[in-house]
C-alpha cells in the first residue's frame, strides 16, 4: 500500500463501534532476502523484536509471516524456550499459535535472551516492553531502560531502532536517542535510524488490527522516518502514515487513549445524572449516537487494562495543566467508591457482610489483571469489614486468594448478600438468584444484567440504569 502523510481510512463520524475492514496482503511472500537491508521495496532482512509478550510475539509472527527473519528477545527463559520449540505462550490470541508454529518450522523465527547479539544480527530492532506507572503515577522506565541498554551495544552502521511501546511525548528523542548513541558510537540520521511507531492493538484481535489500523510512524529526522515507514510497509498490509516527527507519533497514541478515558468519564457523569432523573443512560446514549457527530462511550464501574488508565498519566507527567485529563481519571477511578456506597447503604453497613465480586480480570475473556478495578474494589470492601468472595472463569482458586478474596464455585449456594459484577462476562447471564437465598443487592458494574429476573426483594443497581426493587 502507499505510504501517506495523512490517514485516508478509519476516520468516521458515525456513532457506536467502528470496525475497520481487513486489508488484503499486497506483498510477494517470501520477499527477496537481502543483507544489509536498506529499505528497497520487495526486500526483507532480519528484525529483532525485544519483548515477546502479548503484543510482541504477535508482531514477531506477523513480521516472519511476511518473509522477514525474526529474532524474538525476551528476559524469560520459558518464553524463549517455547518460541524455539515453535509454540506460542499466548493462549487466547487468535491465529498467533499457528503463525508462530509455521514461521518457526520454515526457519524464520527464533528466540534468545541475548539482546546485544540479536541487535548485532538484525537490520531492524523493534522494542515493545512495558512502561507502566510507579506508585506516584509517574512513568516507570525500568523495563524499557533495561531493554535499550541490552541492545545498544549490538547496534551497527545502518541499524534502525523503532519504539512501539507507548512513551511520553519527547522520550524517543530526549531519553533514548542519547542513550543509544552513547552506547553504540553511532549518530542518528547518519548511520543510525531511530523512530517511534505506537502499537495500536487490542487483545484478542491483534492480527486483525495489524491488517486494518493505519500504522503511524514518526522518526527523529526524515531519513529515520523513511526507513521506518519502508520497514512497516514491507511487513504490514495496512496503510503506513509517515508523520512529521517522533513527537507527533508519540502524542497521537496518547491522544487516542486519553480521548477514550475522557469519553468514558463523561459517560459516567451522564450515568450519575441519569440516576438522579430516573432515565436509562443506555437509551440516552443510543439516541445521542444516532446523530453522526456523537460517539459517547459506555459507563461502567471503572477503566482497567494496560492502556487507558495509564497513558493519561503520561500526558499529565509532562503537562499537569491538562485539568480535564486529570479530572477524568478521578471520575473513572471514583466509580469504585460509588459501587461501595451502594453496597453499604443497601446492606446497612459492611462489617461482616458477605459480598461476591464477579469478574477479576480487567476485561472479560482476557486473562490479565493489569489495573483491573476488581483489585481496589476487593481491597475497599475488605477494608470496610466485608467478607469478600470472588469468581472469574479465567482464574484459579489460588489466583483468587492471592488478590484477597475467597474463591466462589460457580453454581453453588452462597450466603452473599450483595453481588458486584466488575466485568460483563456473558456467563453472568446464567446466574440463578436461587443460589443466593440471602441476596439483597445486585450491582451491575457493566450494565449487562438489566434483563436478569430477580426476586422482588433483591435490588438492582446499574450504572445509570433505573433501579428495580
Show which residues are catalytic.
Answer: 253, 307
Angle, CA 201 vertex, CA 195 and CA 206 arms, to 5°:
120
Strand partners, 390: 357, 407
- Do 84 and 111 touch, CB atoms closer than 8 A? yes
Grid cell, residue 85, equals: 520449540
- CA gyration radius, the chain: 24
The span from the CA of 257 to the CA of 303, in Å, is: 12
The span from the CA of 416 to the CA of 419, in Å, is: 7
The span from the CA of 175 to the CA of 76, in Å, is: 26
Helix count (H) and strand count (E) of the chain? 16, 19
Chain centroid to CA 131: 12
Strand partners, 240: 3, 215
Q: Which residue has the cell 511520553?
A: 168
Grid cell, residue 425, equals: 462476562
- SS3 for 405-466 is CEECCCCCCCCCCEEEECCCCHHHHHCCHHHCCCCCEEEECCCCCCCCCCCCCCEEECCCCC
Angle, CA 112 vertex, CA 95 and CA 130 arms, to 5°:
70
- Pairing type for strands 418-421 and 441-444 reads parallel
CA distances from 160 to 15, 202, 244, 357 (A): 39, 26, 18, 47
* H or E element at residue 216: strand 215-219
Angle, CA 428 vertex, CA 426 and CA 433 arms, to 5°:
155
How many Cα atoms occupy the beta-carbon half-sphere of 296 within 13 Å?
Answer: 21
CB neighbours of 114 closer than 8 A, spacing ≥ 6? 73
Angle, CA 27 vertex, CA 237 and CA 216 arms, to 5°:
30
Strand partners, 71: 48, 110
Phi/psi at 141 (5° precision): -95, 5
Amino acid at each position: 500500500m502507499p505510504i501517506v502523510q495523512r490517514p485516508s481510512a478509519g476516520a468516521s463520524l458515525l456513532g457506536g463501534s467502528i470496525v475497520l475492514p481487513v486489508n488484503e496482503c499486497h506483498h510477494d511472500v517470501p520477499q527477496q532476502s537481502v543483507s544489509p537491508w536498506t529499505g528497497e521495496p520487495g526486500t526483507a532482512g532480519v528484525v529483532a523484536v525485544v519483548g515477546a509478550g502479548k503484543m510482541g510475539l504477535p508482531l514477531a509472527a506477523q513480521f516472519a509471516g511476511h518473509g522477514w527473519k525474526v529474532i524474538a528477545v525476551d528476559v524469560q527463559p520459558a518464553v524463549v524456550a517455547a518460541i524455539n520449540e515453535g509454540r506460542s505462550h499466548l493462549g487466547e490470541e487468535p491465529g498467533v499459535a499457528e503463525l508462530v508454529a509455521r514461521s518457526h518450522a520454515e526457519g524464520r523465527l527464533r528466540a534468545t535472551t541475548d539482546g546485544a547479539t540479536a541487535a548485532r544480527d538484525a537490520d531492524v530492532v523493534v522494542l515493545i516492553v512495558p512502561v507502566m506507572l510507579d506508585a506516584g503515577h509517574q512513568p516507570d522506565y525500568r523495563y524499557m531502560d533495561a531493554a535499550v541498554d541490552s541492545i545498544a551495544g549490538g547496534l551497527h552502521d545502518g541499524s534502525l531502532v523503532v519504539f512501539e511501546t507507548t512513551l511520553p511525548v519527547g522520550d524517543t528523542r530526549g531519553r533514548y536517542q542519547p542513550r543509544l548513541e552513547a552506547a553504540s558510537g553511532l549518530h542518528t540520521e547518519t548511520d543510525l535510524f531511530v523512530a517511534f511507531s505506537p502499537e495500536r492493538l487490542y487483545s484478542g484481535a491483534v492480527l486483525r488490527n495489524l491488517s486494518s489500523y493505519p500504522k503511524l510512524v514518526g522518526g527523529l529526522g526524515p531519513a529515520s522516518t523513511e526507513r521506518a515507514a519502508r520497514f512497516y510497509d514491507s511487513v504490514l498490509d495496512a496503510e503506513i502514515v509517515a508523520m512529521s516527527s517522533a513527537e507527533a507519533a508519540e502524542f497521537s497514541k496518547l491522544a487516542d487513549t486519553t480521548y477514550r478515558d475522557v469519553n468514558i468519564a463523561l459517560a459516567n457523569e451522564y450515568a450519575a445524572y441519569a440516576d438522579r432523573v430516573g432515565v436509562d443512560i443506555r437509551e440516552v446514549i443510543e439516541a445521542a449516537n444516532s446523530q453522526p457527530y456523537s460517539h459517547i462511550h459506555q459507563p461502567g464501574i471503572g477503566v482497567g487494562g494496560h492502556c487507558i488508565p495509564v497513558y493519561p498519566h503520561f500526558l499529565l507527567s509532562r503537562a499537569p495543566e491538562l485539568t480535564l485529563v486529570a479530572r477524568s481519571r478521578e471520575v473513572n477511578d471514583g466509580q469504585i467508591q460509588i459501587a461501595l456506597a451502594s453496597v453499604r447503604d443497601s446492606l446497612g453497613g459492611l462489617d461482616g457482610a458477605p459480598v461476591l465480586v464477579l469478574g477479576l480480570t480487567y476485561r472479560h475473556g482476557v486473562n490479565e489483571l493489569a489495573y483491573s478495578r476488581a483489585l481496589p474494589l476487593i481491597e475497599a470492601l475488605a477494608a470496610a469489614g466485608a467478607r469478600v468472595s470472588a469468581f472469574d472463569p479465567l482464574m484459579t482458586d489460588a489466583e483468587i486468594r492471592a488478590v484477597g478474596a475467597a474463591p466462589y464455585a460457580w453454581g453453588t449456594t452462597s450466603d452473599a448478600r450483595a453481588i458486584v459484577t466488575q466485568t460483563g462476562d456473558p456467563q453472568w447471564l446464567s446466574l440463578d438468584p436461587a443460589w443466593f437465598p440471602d441476596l439483597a443487592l445486585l450491582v451491575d458494574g457493566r450494565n449487562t444484567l438489566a434483563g436478569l429476573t430477580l426476586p422482588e426483594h433483591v435490588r438492582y443497581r446499574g450504572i445509570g440504569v433505573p433501579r428495580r426493587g
